[in-house]
Each structure stands twice: as structure tokens, then as C-alpha cells.
Amino acid sequence: MTYQALKGQKAIVTGASSGIGAGVALALAAAGADVAVNYASSLSGAQRVVDEIKAMGRQAIAVKADVAQEDDVQALFDATLTAFGGLDILVNNAGLQQDAAFAEMTLAQWNKVMGTNLTGMFLCSRLAVKEFLRCGLKPGGSRASGKIICMSSVHEVIPWAGHVNYAASKGGVKLFMQSLAQELAPKKIRVNSIGPGAIQTPINKAAWDTQQALDALLKLIPYGRIGVPEDIGKAAVWLASDDSDYVNGQTIFVDGGMTLYPEFADGG
């Protein structure tokens, strides 16, 4: 049997009914974890992921919850702890865009993005941390009492005109993650982020679904291909596992080099 880095561990992945979250949930399960598959609206998407995980011989549940709503998040954690009896890994992945030119951006667009992308991480992480602190280190388990992975973006460092709310939320994720990592390291809780570049999912369909759009996008990616959710899933498994036990408070960019200022490749 192949080595399973997360054998017996329990995970919640928010926004796991689609795209990157689905890829991360499947990768964690393939590495041996049981997974709570959170979704906001797509039960069918979440159920597909649950079915695939169960086919691997792992436990999985689909749980509807809006990560921006405190009661929903409490219900998500209650359902997970009832089903699995514990928690080792939280992946704060749920996120969305509501794009607008800045002068036209509504307060509703600003609040929706902040609520999902940033407040959602606060609400989910707070309950995860309470559970990690309650259980402490588990004999024979992981070297950390808990692991939190935040799905950030290259836009935690690359400004993004026309997407000010989104870039501000991901910039917020950076110091949220680092401050949490600093506060919780003495409790043996590790907190890190993944900063995906362009990953082929529904969130950015307009950027890859015509040849013209894809050609323009590829100019921003030195490695010459768009990413896929599996690229992020592999990074998440590593960050959740003891293989990265000495990694804390870091953003791992998985972006084919998008953060390398490709426009300077020919001398600038």
C-alpha cells in the first residue's frame, strides 16, 4: 500500500463543491484523510466530491454553510465533529469575486467579498483553533495539534485594478495568516497559506475559455501553462502533513512563476 501522509486525520475544506476546493478535498482524501465537504449552493457538486472520497474508502460528508455566517459555521463544525469525532486540518478555501471599476463598486460587492474571503476565514479558524486547543497533541497522531491552510492568491502581493475588493481581501489574508501563525505556534498549531496563480476553475472562466483570452493569460505565466486544481491539492497535502512540520506562517505560491514579474524577463 502506498504511503498516506494524512492517514486517519480529519479535515474540513470550505468551498469544496467546485474548483480548487474540490481538488484539495480529493487530494487530502487520497492522502488518507476523512473530509467534510462544505458548499454554499451546489449540493450536486459537493455530493460528487463526497461520492469520490467514499469510493476511496474514506469518510466524507457534504455540509451546506455560508462561511460568512456565524451560525452556519457553528453548524458546519458541529456536523463535522459529530460525524468524525475530531478535527486535524482546516482548509479555508471558500472565496469569490465581485468585480467592478472602483467608482462603481457597491458596498454590497465590497461586503460580499470581504465576508466570504476574509471574515469566513476568521469564523472557521476560530472554531478550528478552539477544537485544536481542546484536544492538544494526539498520541500517535500528527506532530502538530492542528493545521490551518488559507487559500490566498497571487493577489496578496500583486495589485489588481478592477478587483480592489478581492485584492484587499487577499492582502488581508496574508497578515491574518501570519498573525495567527505567530500567536498559535507555541500551541503547536501551524497556519500557512497557498497563493495560487491562474488555476482553471469556474471563478476565472473568462480568462481561459477563448484562445484569445488564454493567449493573453499565458503571457503572465513564465512556466507556460494554466494551473489545475490538482496542482493546489498536492501543495495542500504537503502543508497539512508532518513533511512540512517546520513550515509556519508562510505563503507558498503555486503559480507557474506569475509572481516573478514576467514583463521584466526581457530587461524591463
Near ligand NDP by CB under 6 A: residue from 9, 80, 116, 192: 116
Pairing of strands 89-92, 34-39: unpaired
Only segment of 78-86, 93-101, 122-130, 132-140 that touches ligand NDP (CB under 6 A): 93-101
Residue 210 falls in which region: left (phi positive, over 0), alpha (psi -120 to 50) or beta: beta
Q: Count CA atoms within 13 Å of residue 68 on its CB side.
A: 11
* Least distance between ligand NDP and beta carbon 14 (Å): 5
Interface positions, 38-77, toward ligand NDP (CB under 6 A) = 38-42, 45, 66-68
Interface positions, 151-170, toward ligand NDP (CB under 6 A) = 151, 153
Near ligand NDP by CB under 6 A: residue from 21, 32, 146, 233: 21
- Nine cell digits for residue 54: 467514499
Near ligand NDP by CB under 6 A: residue from 199, 221, 240, 254: 199
Give Dmax (Cα) for the chain. 57
Q: Angle at which helices 70-84 and 120-135 pack, to 10 degrees?
A: 40
* Least distance between ligand NDP and beta carbon 99 (Å): 12
Near ligand NDP by CB under 6 A: residue from 203, 218, 228, 260: 203
Can you give the length of the chain in residues? Answer: 268
Only segment of 49-57, 88-96, 156-164, 260-268 that touches ligand NDP (CB under 6 A): 88-96
Site string for ligand NDP, 214-253 (x = CB under 6 A): ----------------------------------------
Q: Count CA atoms within 13 Å of residue 54 on its CB side.
A: 11
| 13/242 Cα distance (integer angstroms) | 19
* Least distance between ligand NDP and beta carbon 213 (Å): 13
The CA-CA-CA angle for residues 155, 158, 160, to 5°, reads 75
Verify binding: residue 95, ligand NDP, rule CB under 6 A.
yes
Near ligand NDP by CB under 6 A: residue from 93, 142, 192, 251: 93
Verify binding: residue 118, ligand NDP, rule CB under 6 A.
no
Instruction: Respond yes or no: is residue 166 known to be catalytic.
Output: yes
DSSP 99-138: ---GGG--HHHHHHHHIIIIIHHHHHHHHHHHHHHHH-SP
Near ligand NDP by CB under 6 A: residue from 9, 13, 15, 142: 15
Say whether 13 sits in a helix, a strand or coil. Answer: strand
Closest by CA to 37, choosing from 46, 45, 28, 48, is 46
| Selected catalytic residue, list 166, 223, 246, 261 | 166
Residues with catalytic roles: 166
List residues near ligand NDP by CB under 6 A.
Answer: 14-15, 17-21, 38-42, 45, 66-68, 93-96, 116, 151, 153, 196, 198-199, 201-204
